[in-house]
């Protein structure tokens, strides 16, 4: 059975029907990419999976548990981390406080060790640990958002456009980190506009258009798919 | 002169404690709880009933007032404000005013409009420092204010729950993704604010021992002013705003005019807001209302 199974999801914003019968799955250990143009519904999918939004119909099943109706705050404990679009670090909290909030659901005794791990991953964060997160650069905030999600020791990590607004050098660095996260055993569901980069590190991918999944397949195949090349890879 | 200053600080301490309640709730729920002043009044009546009718020790009276107000604050939030969390802020404001009138009228029904004479929680004595005479009530008031300020600063700055509160006030969605229960956190802010209102109510009635159902409204409005004056959402701001307001008001009463003092107090507020729209210690951010 897949680690994360999404079946026939329909989500509305008032009268706007944002997701139409969306179904997909993520197997343990995979990196799965979700690509699509602006407004396709990628963020809506992630928000529904992690419980920030409710679904009209359909289900989200994580490790065999139906979490469709669970309140958002209770889903982290089950082993799901979510790095939201636009990073959304807490600007007035220090870097260290942001990271500690990431471990909100974990026992006090385990936090110091995780904090050190995250600092090993992101040495820049340790240098800036007492600085308010709002004063970090965009790339550093992205690292903080990822480190903060890692503090909950997730078994699956949802990433919403981690490369948004970053310089090419930083984009490379962030993607390297995603590969490392995956190599360390965390399953990854990656939403990206940068389809080329996303497909190059993903195992499988789904293509989303105006709230519908229109294509799915092995990432390497999609990279060579003519229609995909034309629509999303700018070739 | 020095006497007036002490009186001002003492009155200001009461405003500050009330203002802290406004600021905590505003910081986290982004709403003005106009019923906050009436929670003060309920706190006053509770302590009055405990000490006068039931003959309890004043300290127990304070604890009863705090317990009742804490529950009241949580219930008000759950019943009146929570259903409106995504409603326009005007709807929330009108509801808050409605809750305020509801509490005043309920108090009118239970305790009638006859003023109750409150017996202060500490003796009427005073301590003499040279020429300076400071009543026990004043001392207790200032001490309570200092202790509350220190405790709240420690709580929000150093504890896990306090940090979570700041996280919720900055970004509720992201806080949820951390596993923080936003509803519980908002309830907690109302609980703390209302417990502080109870303390303020008891101190207020000890200093000005006339208790009527509208006792809380004027100090409530002034403390709200103080919170805005200091920068709403900021804990040190509420403190500074409250104390400054108390001092200004006392000096106006003493040296300018009894009748004009409230006008002058609000005039100062308008001036400060013209120069610093976010208040003395407020963050200069544009607030979505
Ligand atoms: N809060 C909201 N209220 C109303 N409509 C919304 C809301 N959020 C999103 N939508 C609509 O739902 C659709 C999907 O939005 P979503 O944010 O999921 O897209 P996205 O694929 O993440 O886009 P982007 O790549 O720009 O982040 C869009 O048409 C959007 O306008
Ligand atoms: Mg998006």
- Of the ranges A138-142, A230-234, B152-156, B217-221, which one carries the lowest mean pLDDT score? A230-234
pLDDT for B262: 85
Residue A89 above 90 pLDDT? yes
Q: Do A51 and B176 touch (CB under 8 A)?
A: yes
Q: Which residues keep their CB under 5 angstroms from ion ligand 2?
A: A 42-43, 85
Residue A19 above 80 pLDDT? yes
* Per-residue pLDDT tens digits for A207-220: 999 999 999 999 98
Domain count, chain B: 1
Identify whether A121 is part of a domain.
no
Identify whether B209 is part of a domain.
yes
Residue B211 above 50 pLDDT? yes
Identify whether B87 is part of a domain.
yes
Mapping DSSP onto H, E and C, the string for chain B reads CHHHHHHHHHHHHHHHHHHHHHHHHHHHHCCCCCCHHHHHHHHHHHHHHHHHHCCCCHHHHHHHHHHHHHHHHHHHHHHHHHHHCCCCHHHHHHHHHHHHHHHHHHHHHHHCCCCEECCCCCCCCEEEECCEEEEHHHHHHHHHHHHHHHHHHHHHHHCHHHHHHHHHHHCHHHHHHCCCCHHHHHHHHHHHHHHHHHHHHHHHHHHCCEECCCCCHHHHHHHHHHHHHHCCCCHHHHHHHHHHHHHHHHHHHHHHCCCCHHHHHHHHHHHHHHHCCCCCCCCCCCCCC
For residue A188, what are the domain limits?
A: 4-88+147-232
Identify whether B152 is part of a domain.
yes
* Per-residue pLDDT tens digits for A122-179: 999 999 999 999 999 999 999 999 999 999 999 999 999 999 888 888 899 899 999 9
pTM of the model: 0.91
Residue B286 above 50 pLDDT? no
Best of A40, A83, A214 to mutate for ligand 1, by most ligand atoms within 8 A of CB? A40
Identify whether A118 is part of a domain.
no
Residue B287 above 50 pLDDT? no
Residue B288 above 70 pLDDT? no
Identify whether B233 is part of a domain.
no
Q: Do A90 and B177 touch (CB under 8 A)?
A: no
Residue A172, classed as helix, strand or coil, is helix
- CB of A38 closer than 6 angstroms to any ligand 1 atom: yes
Identify whether B265 is part of a domain.
no
Domain count, chain A: 1
Q: Domain containing A163 — which CATH number?
A: 3.40.50.300
User: Would you state the structure tokens that stand for residue B84, as one six-digit string?
Assistant: 């409106």
Q: What mean pLDDT do residues B212-217 have?
A: 91
For residue B93, what are the domain limits?
A: 12-215
Query: Which ligand approaches the C-alpha of residue A16 most closely?
Result: 1
| β A187-192/A204-209 pair status | unpaired
* pLDDT grade for B285, boundaries at 50, 70 and 90: low
What share of chain A has pLDDT > 70, as a percent? 100
* Per-residue pLDDT tens digits for B105-150: 999 999 988 888 887 777 777 788 877 888 888 999 999 999 999 9
Q: Do A93 and B170 touch (CB under 8 A)?
A: yes
Interface ipTM: 0.93
What share of chain B has pLDDT > 70, as a percent? 98
Residue A83, classed as helix, strand or coil, is strand
- If 0-12 CB within 10 Å is exposed, 13-18 middle and 19+ buried, where does residue B210 land? exposed
Contact list in A for residue B179 (CB cut-off 8 A) is 73-77, 104-105, 152
- CB of A44 closer than 6 angstroms to any ligand 1 atom: yes
User: Would you state the structure tokens that stand for residue A133, as one six-digit string?
Assistant: 């997160």
CB nearest A101 (choices: B178, B181, B182): B178
* Per-residue pLDDT tens digits for B224-261: 989 988 888 888 999 999 999 999 999 988 888 888 88
Supply the DSSP symbol for A81.
E
Q: Taking every pair of C-alpha atoms in chain A, what is the biggest distance, in angstroms?
A: 52
CB nearest A100 (choices: B163, B170, B173): B163
Q: What mean pLDDT do residues A52-73 have?
A: 95
pLDDT for A228: 81
Q: How many CB atoms lie within 10 A of CB B111?
A: 17
Average pLDDT, chain A: 93
Q: Do B173 and A82 touch (CB under 8 A)?
A: no
């Amino acid at each position: 059975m897949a680690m994360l199974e999404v079946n026939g999801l329909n989500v509305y914003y008032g009268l706007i029907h944002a997701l139409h019968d969306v179904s997909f799955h993520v197997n343990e250990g995979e990196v799965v990419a979700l690509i699509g143009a602006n407004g396709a519904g990628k963020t809506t999918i992630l928000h529904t999976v992690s419980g920030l939004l409710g679904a009209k119909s359909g289900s989200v099943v994580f490790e065999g548990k139906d979490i469709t109706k669970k309140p958002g705050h209770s889903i982290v404990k089950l082993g799901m981390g979510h790095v939201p679009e636009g990073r959304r670090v807490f600007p007035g909290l220090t870097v260290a406080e942001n990271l500690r909030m990431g471990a909100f659901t974990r026992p006090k005794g385990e936090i110091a060790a995780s904090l050190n791990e995250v600092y090993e991953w992101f040495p820049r964060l340790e240098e800036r640990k007492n600085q308010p997160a709002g004063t970090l650069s965009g790339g550093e905030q992205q690292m903080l958002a990822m480190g903060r999600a890692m503090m909950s020791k997730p078994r699956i990590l949802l990433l919403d456009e981690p490369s948004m607004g970053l310089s090419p050098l930083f984009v490379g660095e962030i993607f390297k980190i995603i590969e490392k996260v995956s190599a360390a055993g965390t399953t990854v569901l990656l939403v990206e506009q940068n389809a080329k980069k996303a497909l190059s590190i993903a195992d499988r991918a789904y293509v989303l258009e105006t709230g519908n999944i229109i294509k799915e397949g092995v990432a390497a195949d999609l990279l060579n798919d003519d229609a995909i090349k034309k629509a999303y890879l700018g070739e | 002169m020095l006497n007036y200053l002490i009186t001002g600080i003492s009155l200001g301490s009461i405003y500050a404690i009330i203002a802290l309640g406004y600021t905590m709730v505003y910081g986290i729920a982004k709403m003005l709880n106009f019923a906050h002043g009436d929670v003060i009044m309920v706190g006053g009546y509770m302590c009055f009933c405990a000490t006068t009718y039931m003959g309890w020790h004043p300290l127990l009276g304070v604890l009863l007032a705090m317990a009742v107000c804490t529950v009241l604050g949580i219930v008000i939030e759950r019943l009146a404000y929570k259903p409106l969390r995504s409603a326009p802020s005007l709807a929330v404001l009108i509801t808050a005013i409605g809750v305020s009138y509801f509490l005043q009228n309920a108090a009118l029904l239970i305790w009638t409009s006859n003023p109750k004479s409150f017996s202060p929680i500490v003796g009427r004595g005073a301590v003499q420092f040279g020429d300076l005479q400071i009543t026990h009530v004043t001392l207790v008031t200032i001490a309570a204010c200092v202790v509350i300020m220190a405790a709240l600063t420690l709580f929000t700055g150093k504890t896990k729950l306090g940090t979570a509160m700041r996280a919720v006030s900055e970004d509720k969605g992201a806080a949820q993704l951390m596993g923080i229960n936003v509803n519980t956190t908002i309830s907690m802010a109302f609980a703390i604010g209302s417990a502080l209102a109870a303390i303020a109510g008891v101190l207020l009635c000890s200093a000005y021992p006339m208790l009527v159902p509208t006792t809380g409204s004027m100090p409530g409005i002034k403390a709200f002013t103080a919170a805005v004056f200091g920068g709403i959402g900021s804990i040190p701001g509420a403190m500074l705003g409250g104390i400054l307001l108390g001092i200004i008001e006392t000096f106006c009463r003493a040296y300018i005019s009894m009748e004009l003092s409230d006008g002058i107090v609000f005039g100062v507020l308008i001036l400060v807001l013209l120069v610093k729209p976010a208040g003395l210690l407020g963050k200069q951010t544009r607030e979505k209302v």
